Amino acid sequence: MTTLPTFGAGIWHFATYKDRYATEGYGPEVGLLEQIDRAGAVADLSVVDLNWPFAGFDGTLDDVKQALARNNLRAIAVTPEIYNRDYVKGSITNPDPAVRAQALKLLNEASVLAKELGCDYVKLWFGQDGWDYPFQVDYGKIWKLAVDGLRELVGAHPEIKFVIEYKPREPRNRIIFPNAARTLLAIQQVDLDNLGILLDFGHSLYGLETPADAAQLCIDAGKLFAIDVNDNFRGWDDDMVVGSVHLVETFEFFHTLRNNGWDGVWQLDQFPFREDSVEAAKTAIRFLKALHRALDRLDEQGLAEAQANHDSLTAQRLVQNVLLSCLAEDTPQTAPTPTEVTA
Ligand code: FE
Ligand code: FE
């Protein structure tokens, strides 16, 4: 068996959430240190991605470092909050130069923090940079602001990587970096080695990409710096437990990563609104370990031969052979009694 990958999670996985209906939240608020402790309770996580500023947290950076250390966790990334109320018309593409400057200041501060924490990268998620209506923006101008803003930020911190996490929509109806191809185009235009992509599997799914193909495109460009995994029904960013809906496409995604020798962190970006967050992470990792076993056992030569002929039926059989049998391995050995089954 090959070595297991490193598992990680966005720290927000362990928070509680609000939406426009349950405005009081889906549960009592969970503070940052408690979120870190919950991440530690999963036991299989080695790294976390931290939002910054630390919202609602009045402790010190040392408190955060201690919480990470006592849970054997490392911060892999800082995600600056350039998508809150201050940036409802965008961060680096905001029409107001003063807001653009404020966004860059925040991004620069986040980059300094990421270096201090020993992170691998700063994650840029431009959720508010985009538009909602036809005729709302000048597409040429907003694109230029995005590329110029990125070049200024990323060029100022050559010691650390930056990743753009693309997403088709939400909160803006159209986000300026909605898919792999358009994001790669911007990265090409910025032309700096330390700028790449974080491919969120769920964003790719509901953007109607084939996530494995999007991953290959990013890898071929030398730009797949990180991934997030989760699942959805392909109509929205549901951020469900990984593997709960798109079993085969998730397997294909990880197969593409392995075939290319990509060995980064397998990172959870899930929002368990109504589930226990620690259990949701454990369920996800149980599934990811099964996928990893299945990758070890896949008949690669048979699959390569099938693909050489575009033979979809043989490919399906080979995938089904290993995927379903490997998933079963982790189930309890004792069969449930008939009463338990009907309960
Ligand atoms: Fe994500
Ligand atoms: Fe998302």
Distance of CA 272 from the midpoint of ligand 2 (Å)? 12
pLDDT tens readout for residues 100-118: 999 999 999 999 999 999 9
Are 328 and 308 in contact by the 8 Å Cβ rule? The answer is no
Size of the chain in residues: 343
Q: What local confidence, expressed as pLDDT, does residue 343 receive?
A: 44
Residues with CB in 5 Å of ion ligand 1: 200, 228, 269
Q: Is the peptide bond before 134 cis (omega within 30 degrees of 0)?
A: no
Cα 214 from chain centroid (whole Å): 14
pTM comes to: 0.94
- Reference 103, options 119, 116, 90, 121; nearest CA is 90
Distance of CA 64 from the midpoint of ligand 2 (Å)? 24
- 195-210 in b/e form (b: 16+ CB < 10 A) is bbbbbbbbbbbbbebe
Pick the ligand that lies closest to the CA of residue 239.
2
* CA separation for the pair 192, 196 (Å, rounded): 9
pLDDT tens readout for residues 63-81: 999 999 999 999 999 999 9
Pick the ligand that lies closest to the CA of residue 49.
1
Calculate the alpha carbon distances from 165 to 176, 235, 245, 253, 324 in Å: 11, 18, 22, 17, 31
Q: Above 60 in pLDDT, residue 260?
A: yes
Are 318 and 295 in contact by the 8 Å Cβ rule? The answer is no
Distance of CA 316 from the midpoint of ligand 2 (Å)? 29
Which domains are present in the chain? 7-277 (3.20.20.150)
Distance of CA 168 from the midpoint of ligand 2 (Å)? 10
Residue 71: count other Cβ atoms within 10 Å of its Cβ: 19
Q: What local confidence, expressed as pLDDT, does residue 279 receive?
A: 98
pLDDT tens readout for residues 124-158: 999 999 999 999 999 999 999 999 999 999 999 99
* CA separation for the pair 256, 194 (Å, rounded): 23
Pick the ligand that lies closest to the CA of residue 175.
2
Q: Using 50, 70 and 90 to split pLDDT, how confident is the model at 315?
A: very high
- Give me the half-sphere count of Cα atoms (radius 13 Å) on the Cβ side of residue 133: 3
pLDDT tens readout for residues 80-97: 999 999 999 999 999 999
Distance of CA 333 from the midpoint of ligand 1 (Å)? 35
Percent of the chain with pLDDT over 90: 93
Distance of CA 269 from the midpoint of ligand 2 (Å)? 7
The residue behind tokens 């338990």 is 340
Pick the ligand that lies closest to the CA of residue 200.
1
Cα 172 from chain centroid (whole Å): 18
Distance of CA 182 from the midpoint of ligand 1 (Å)? 17
Q: What local confidence, expressed as pLDDT, does residue 249 receive?
A: 98
Distance of CA 67 from the midpoint of ligand 2 (Å)? 26
Distance of CA 338 from the midpoint of ligand 2 (Å)? 40
* Three-state secondary structure string covering the chain: CCCCCCEEEEHHHHCCCCCCCCCCCCCCCCCHHHHHHHHHHCCCEEEEEEEECCCCCCCCHHHHHHHHHHCCCEEEEEEECCCCHHHCCCCCCCCCHHHHHHHHHHHHHHHHHHHHCCCCEEEECCCCCEECCCCCCCHHHHHHHHHHHHHHHHHCCCCCEEEEECCCCCCCCEECCCCHHHHHHHHHHHCCCCEEEEEEHHHHHHCCCCHHHHHHHHHHCCCEEEEEECECCCCCCCCECCCCCCHHHHHHHHHHHHHCCCCCCEEECCCCCCCCHHHHHHHHHHHHHHHHHHHHHCCHHHHHHHHHCCCHHHHHHHHHHHHHHHHHCCCCCCCCCHHHHHC
Distance of CA 12 from the midpoint of ligand 2 (Å)? 11
pLDDT tens readout for residues 214-255: 999 999 999 999 999 999 999 999 999 999 999 999 999 999
Calculate the alpha carbon distances from 13 to 16, 42, 104, 239, 269 in Å: 8, 11, 26, 10, 7
Distance of CA 237 from the midpoint of ligand 2 (Å)? 6
Residues with CB in 5 Å of ion ligand 2: 237
Distance of CA 228 from the midpoint of ligand 1 (Å)? 5
Q: What local confidence, expressed as pLDDT, does residue 330 receive?
A: 64
Q: Using 50, 70 and 90 to split pLDDT, how confident is the model at 1?
A: confident
Are 117 and 78 in contact by the 8 Å Cβ rule? The answer is yes
